[in-house]
């Protein structure tokens, strides 16, 4: 019999106790046409739950329509609650808890998706959409914060045990926190104390709603923005301490800006030919093919790539911390948990193998089959997130060749 490790012991996060210390991270599925849950979304999360995970997190759900960044993304509103409840009931029957990530994309949208001029911490131009962005007025911020609290109440009505507030990766809360995107001259800009004001407003609404509904609250935060001119670890530690004071039940420690340093978040190389193959707008397809390598520079992948920074946060904070980033093998997961983290999150590992957690229970040296080509991410922007190893249809030859070359480079770099 395999010796049971800390990995397979229960863990308590606020009002919620999980059967083990694994959480499916809020990796965007792109499985919600019409901004509502689909059978595909239910089937995937149910498979992960049956695969042994302690809690599965439904990815990014916009708290308002203006917070949508993709047309296959959830938008929290009353009419999708029944569909979400069907999903959470299926997850619970499989023995796992269910969480949903709540956020607002801020400037990372387009009128064709969100129905208005995109809004953010400051007025400007988003090259990645591309579109002009309107800075939110101070009198709009309380209503935006209340939208997060309303989303928590909807999540509870839909049967979710926990919510994950997205305060990292260059989304709206992160846009207020970072000096790179916050150029305001009012009470919400300038000093870090001012830049945290919007986050404070959101957390007050979220924690009040969570207290009334018995919902666990996790918050995803950056440990660094991942580029010069963004937030570094000292300021991010101050943000984490403020979230600890706000009463958040756990922090998910991450890093990077998806609009500025996307591969700092995900690591590895972006398969540009694959990404553009699935795009439908000809001008975007050829534009990204020409400048994609410059816009999305490679950041080398290694196992547990955020661990060094996360250990600094573990030393400074008393609250539960969830580690995410580059976990593909039980040996490294056990090592991370032994460093004092309460739980771990995995995304691509569970896309590659939804039953990976059960396999880790049986195999001391279990390792998922992900080879870090990032095909799943390249495809995600237009279709659903899927591992190329699990596709029913063969890849076009040009894409198969690109993925094979990236995987060879990754294997060489990892030696």
Point out the residues that are catalytic: 171
In whole angstroms, what is the distance from residue 262 CA to residue 69 CA?
15
Q: List b or e across 47-62, with b for residues whose CB sees 16 or more CB atoms inside 10 angstroms.
A: ebbbbbbbbbbbbbbb
The number of beta carbons lying within 10 Å of the beta carbon of residue 245 is 11
Instruction: Return d(Cα 130, Cα 132) in angstroms, integer.
Output: 7
Buried b (16+ CB within 10 A) or exposed e, 97-125: bbbbbbbbbbbbbbeebbeeebbbbbeee
CA distance 249 to 187: 28
Strands 119-120 and 97-103: unpaired
Q: Catalogue the long-range contacts made by 4-11 (C-beta closer than 8 Å, 24 or more residues apart).
A: 4/361, 5/330, 5/334, 5/337, 6/334, 6/337, 6/338, 7/330, 7/333, 7/334, 7/337, 7/344, 7/360, 8/361, 11/54, 11/320, 11/342, 11/343
- Cβ atoms of residues 158 and 213 within 8 Å: no
**Distance between CA 266 and CA 260 in Å, rounded?**
13
Residue 149 has phi, psi (to 5 degrees) of -65, -40
Written as six digits, the tokens of 138 are 């101070």
φ, ψ at 173 (rounded to 5°): -60, -40
């Amino acid at each position: 019999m395999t010796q049971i490790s800390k990995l397979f012991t229960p863990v308590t996060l606020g009002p919620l106790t999980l059967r083990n210390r694994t959480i499916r991270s809020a990796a965007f599925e792109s499985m919600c046409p019409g901004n509502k849950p689909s059978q595909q979304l239910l089937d995937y999360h149910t498979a992960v739950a049956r695969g042994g995970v302690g809690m599965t997190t439904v990815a990014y759900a916009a708290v308002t329509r203006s917070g949508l960044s993709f047309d296959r993304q959830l938008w929290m509103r009353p009419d999708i609650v029944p569909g979400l409840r069907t999903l959470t009931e299926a997850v619970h029957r499989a023995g796992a808890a269910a969480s949903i990530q709540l956020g607002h994309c801020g400037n990372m949208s387009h009128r064709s998706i969100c129905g208005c001029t995109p809004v953010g911490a400051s007025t400007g131009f988003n090259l990645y959409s591309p579109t002009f962005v309107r800075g939110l007025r101070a009198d709009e911020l309380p209503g935006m914060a209340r939208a997060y609290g309303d989303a928590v109440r909807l999540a509870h009505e839909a049967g979710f045990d926990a919510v994950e507030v997205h305060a990292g990766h260059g989304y709206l809360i992160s846009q207020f926190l970072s000096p790179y995107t916050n150029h305001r001259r009012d009470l919400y800009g300038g000093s870090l104390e001012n830049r945290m004001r919007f986050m404070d407003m959101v957390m007050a609404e979220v924690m009040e709603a969570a207290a009334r509904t018995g919902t666990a609250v996790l918050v995803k935060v950056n440990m660094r923005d991942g580029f010069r001119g963004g937030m570094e670890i000292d300021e991010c530690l101050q943000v984490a301490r403020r979230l600890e004071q706000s009463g958040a039940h756990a922090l998910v420690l991450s890093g990077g800006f998806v609009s500025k340093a996307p591969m700092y978040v995900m690591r590895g190389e972006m398969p540009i030919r694959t990404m553009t193959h699935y795009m439908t707008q000809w001008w975007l397809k050829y534009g990204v093919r020409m400048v994609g390598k410059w816009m999305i520079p490679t950041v080398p992948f290694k196992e547990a790539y955020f661990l060094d920074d996360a250990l600094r946060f573990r030393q400074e904070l008393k609250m539960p911390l969830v580690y995410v980033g580059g976990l593909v093998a039980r040996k490294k997961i056990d090592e991370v948990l032994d460093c004092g983290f309460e739980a771990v999150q995995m995304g691509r590992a569970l896309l590659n193998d939804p039953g990976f957690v059960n396999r880790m229970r049986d195999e001391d040296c279990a390792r998922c089959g992900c080879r870090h080509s990032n095909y799943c991410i390249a495809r995600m922007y237009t279709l659903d997130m899927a591992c190329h190893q699990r596709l029913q249809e063969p890849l076009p030859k040009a894409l198969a060749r690109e993925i094979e070359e990236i995987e060879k480079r990754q294997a060489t770099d990892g030696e």
